[in-house]
Amino acid sequence: MDQRPAISASQAGDGVTLAASGNWTVTEAERLNGEIRQAARLPSGTRRVTIDLSGIDRFDTAGAWLIHRTARNMVNDGLEVVYTGIGPSREILIGEVEKSDRPPAEPRREAPFVTALVNDTGEAVIQSGRDLVQLSSLLGSTVLIMAGFLFRPWRMRLTSITYHLEYMGLRAVPIIALISFLIGGIVEQQGAYQLRYFGAEILSIDLAGILVLRELGVLLTSIMIAGRSGSAITAELGSMKMREEIDALRTLALDPVEVLIVPRLIALVIALPLLTFVANMSALAGAGLTAWIYIDVTPQTFLPYLQNAVALNTFLVGLIKAPFMALVIGMIACLEGMQVKGSAESLGRQTTAAVVKAIFMVIVLDGLFAMFFAAIDY
Amino acid sequence: MAATNGSAFSVSDNAPGSGSGAGAGVTGTGPVANGAGERDAVIRGRGITVGFGRTNILENLDLDVYRGEVLGVVGGSGTGKSVLLRTLVGLQPRRGGTIDMFGTDIDSASAAERNAVERRWGILFQGGALFSSLTVKQNVQVPMREHLRLESSLMDELAELKIAMVGLAADAGDKYPSELSGGMIKRAALARALALDPDLVFLDEPTSGLDPIGAADFDDLISKLRDTLGLTVFMVTHDLDSLFSICDRIAALGKKRILVAGDLETVMNYPDPWIEEYFHGKRARATAAGMSQQ
């Protein structure tokens, strides 16, 4: 028997016989689709069509569909269609296919471009409003829960907090120390190089010291933590949301904010200032090393000079900002995590959004702090 | 072409205790792997050993699945039913043994041969495992897109056909898996497993989480596909209704191997406490009574 599937038409009076042969399976469906369309172009005056399936070797639902579709179209055109050479099993199969043949569902309508644009813009605005409301709502419930800890300190989840402190704090030390060291060195080197024209190379130590302590240390750490821990928080909460673990917590009369969010926020608020301190020291060490190499300032000279260049408040300005940065990063990450819907795609989208929003807010917040400290002359 | 009609029943009438450790007896009754006879084994596993850490979950397990049969695999929790399924499809590494699929030794097969074998089976995972970022219709079309070159209108028609065959509403095709109920996910996953009209399907607890009517429809669909397409089904199940109504043979797992395999009666009368409890407990009696009344 020829394995190559084919269909041939032969005419007798006002009847046409379509004889199918070969393997009518899904692997051959593309070719058969063309062939059967060709064969179904009947000469005018045809009244009866006989579809002969006896030559078919292998037959599956794709083949059955092609046969059935052709027969149905012919019946709709007012022709009489008969099957021959159809065994009991093929009859069931074609019957099944026939039963499953139904008009396709209405496609989901898509709005025209302009409408969609206006729609999306409006939604984006409303969504940012909602974000703000949710952020303050989360802040409110966090504060309430923390206030509750004053009366019932045993409800603080110390194990959980310690765990997160280790992962968000301790394990971030190497990478944060490394990048801060490099940035400190680069600032010092650039400062020295540019200030050389004014013969004020030594002032590069003032520059590096103030810049690192006031801004760079805390900014770098915050951005790093937003990328490192913020994304982790969103992904963790998001996948818990996807698998209904958060709903399960609620039904067990546990508050997800208390169980999942507050420990993470507390851990972040403790970890970020500590990491900022590490970043500061590491950046100053980098600056010191560069100063030694580039402008021959030995550590013995560098340290007393630095001590004069920066005051305690320079150091504190950076450090004060850290817990606020931590709060912003943590809350954005948690909120985005809770908004994850069912799909893997949405988990990816929310994680991206969490990191982007957190970094953006960190920089905005830093700007506000800069204005505030300038205003109070600190 | 007679193979599609004939094999479905040639299997249920001769069912020795194959695979119950007495591997030699089985090889004696059946023809060699790729013989075109009626006891043509689609899957032939010998000495399969799988373990995690220090313990072996399956040890020296022999298994035959014949063309055109529905094999139900039962066993208590943790006896390795799902592990066996995952091992057969190559998701779980083995510690020993050989597996022949469609007469191809999986270990010695080239990548192209393996690919050809993989195209001939479909798998329904327990949780559905639908791709969450694709609609149901796109999910069904994934294997078609990857393995065949089909015109997109034909692909739409075939996908819609498969969706209708598994009993999903027409508008379900454009929905995402997160918008579906548990039962609908099962059906959609079956539609994907059947997308390429496979010769062999692996079903991991297909009817769990379905209501009784839905489960009966599911069983009905499976048996229709077996009868019409000569589909071979490897089904891990707990559903007594499925076992009684559509399984040609049942394999009971226990003690790290297949305790007994054969028709319902053979398995039911096997002296093992778990099997006795399972088939002669209250629920089994009720199901059997319901069956015999029909």
Residues of chain B contacting A97 with CB distance shorter than 8 Å: 161, 165
* Distance (Å) from the alpha carbon of B1 to chain A's nearest alpha carbon: 6
Which A residues, 217 through 236, put their C-beta within 8 Å of a C-beta on chain B? none
Query: CB of B61 within 8 A of CB of B215?
Result: no
- Contact flag A26-B148 (C-beta cutoff 8 Å): yes
- Contact flag B161-A97 (C-beta cutoff 8 Å): yes
Kindly identify which residue of chain B lies nearest to residue A93, measuring between CA atoms. B228
On the question of pLDDT at A375 being above 50, the answer is yes
Which residues are B71's β-sheet partners?
Answer: B234, B249
CA distance A269 to A287: 27
Q: Taking chain B (294 residues) in consecutive chunks of 10 residues, what is each chunk's mean pLDDT?
A: 37 36 35 48 89 87 89 86 88 88 86 86 88 90 86 88 87 88 87 89 86 85 83 88 87 87 86 84 73 63
Q: Which fold has domain A6-100?
A: Transcription Regulator spoIIAA (3.30.750)
* pTM, full prediction: 0.72
Helices (H), chain B: 2-13, 23-29, 81-88, 111-119, 136-147, 152-165, 182-193, 212-229, 240-245, 264-268, 273-280, 282-293
Collect all residues with Cβ–Cβ distance below 8 Å to A103 and sequence separation of at least 6.
B170
**Which class in CATH covers the domain with range B1-120+201-294?**
alpha beta
Which residues are B45's β-sheet partners?
Answer: B63, B99
Sheet holding A6-12, edge to edge: A6-12, A15-24, A48-59, A80-84
Query: CB of B147 within 8 A of CB of B196?
Result: yes
Per-residue pLDDT tens over the stretch A40-83: 888 877 888 888 888 888 888 888 888 888 888 888 888 888 88
C-alpha atoms less than 13 angstroms from C-alpha of A146 in its C-beta half-sphere? 13
Is A343 within 8 Å of chain B by CB?
A: yes
Query: CB of B70 within 8 A of CB of B246?
Result: yes
CA distance A184 to A177: 10
Q: What is the mean pLDDT of residues A339-367?
A: 92
Q: What is the mean pLDDT of residues A227-254?
A: 91
Average per-residue pLDDT in chain A?
Answer: 90
For A186-199, letters b (16+ CB in 10 Å) and e give ebbbebbeebeeee
Picking from A54, A60, A46, A53, the residue whose alpha carbon sits closest to that of residue A15 is A46
Q: What are phi and psi of A361, to 5 degrees?
A: -65, -35
Which residue matches tokens 């119950």?
A: B20
On the question of pLDDT at A231 being above 90, the answer is yes
Which residue matches tokens 């590490």?
A: A278
Give me the residue from A58, A60, A344 closest to B132, CB to CB.
A344
Per-residue pLDDT tens over the stretch A179-203: 999 999 999 999 999 999 998 889 9
CA distance A223 to A227: 6
On the question of pLDDT at A1 being above 70, the answer is no
Query: CB of A226 within 8 A of CB of A169?
Result: no
Q: What share of chain B is helix, strand, coil (3-state, %, to 5)?
A: 45, 20, 35
CA distance A54 to A24: 12
* Distance (Å) from the alpha carbon of A36 to chain B's nearest alpha carbon: 13
**What string of DSSP letters covers A286-326?**
HHHHHHHHHH---HHHHHHHHHHH--HHHHHHHHHHHHHHH
Is A65 within 8 Å of chain B by CB?
A: yes
Which B residues, 64 through 123, put their C-beta within 8 Å of a C-beta on chain A? none
- Contact flag A93-B156 (C-beta cutoff 8 Å): no
Is A88 within 8 Å of chain B by CB?
A: yes
Give me the residue from A69, A105, A341 closest to B178, CB to CB.
A341
Is A96 within 8 Å of chain B by CB?
A: yes
Q: Which pLDDT does position A182 carry in this prediction?
A: 97
Interface test with B, best of A3, A27, A346 (most B CBs within 10 A): A27
Q: Between A and B, how many CB-CB pairs are < 8 A?
A: 96
Residues of chain B contacting A99 with CB distance shorter than 8 Å: 164
On the question of pLDDT at A3 being above 70, the answer is no
CA distance A187 to A179: 12
Residues of chain A contacting B197 with CB distance shorter than 8 Å: 25-26, 60-62
Residues of chain A contacting B1 with CB distance shorter than 8 Å: 56-59
Q: What are phi and psi of B246, to 5 degrees?
A: -120, -15
CA distance B242 to B259: 20
Give this complex's ipTM.
0.71
Where are chain A's structural domains? Answer: 6-100, 125-375
Is B228 within 8 Å of chain A by CB?
A: yes
* Distance (Å) from the alpha carbon of A94 to chain B's nearest alpha carbon: 9
Per-residue pLDDT tens over the stretch A305-318: 999 999 999 999 99
Query: CB of A362 within 8 A of CB of A222?
Result: yes
Please, what is the angle between helix A173-195 and helix A203-211, to 10°? 150
Q: Which pLDDT does position A263 carry in this prediction?
A: 94
**What string of DSSP letters covers A216-270?**
IHHHHHHHHHIIIIIHHHHHHHHHHHHTTHHHHHHHTT--HIIIIIHHHHHHHHH
Which residues are A50's β-sheet partners?
Answer: A17, A82
Residues of chain A contacting B165 with CB distance shorter than 8 Å: 61, 96-97, 100
Lowest mean pLDDT among A18-27, A39-48, A137-146, A217-226: A39-48
The two beta strands, B70-74 and B232-236, are parallel
SS3 B123: strand
Q: Which pLDDT does position B13 carry in this prediction?
A: 34
Collect all residues with Cβ–Cβ distance below 8 Å to A354 and sequence separation of at least 6.
A230, A231, A233, A234, A332, A333, A335, A336, A337
Please tell me which residue, A240 or B27, carries the higher pLDDT value.
A240
Is A59 within 8 Å of chain B by CB?
A: yes
Where are chain B's structural domains? Answer: 1-120+201-294, 129-197
Q: How far is CA B292 from CA A305, B247, B282, B289, in A?
A: 98, 16, 16, 5
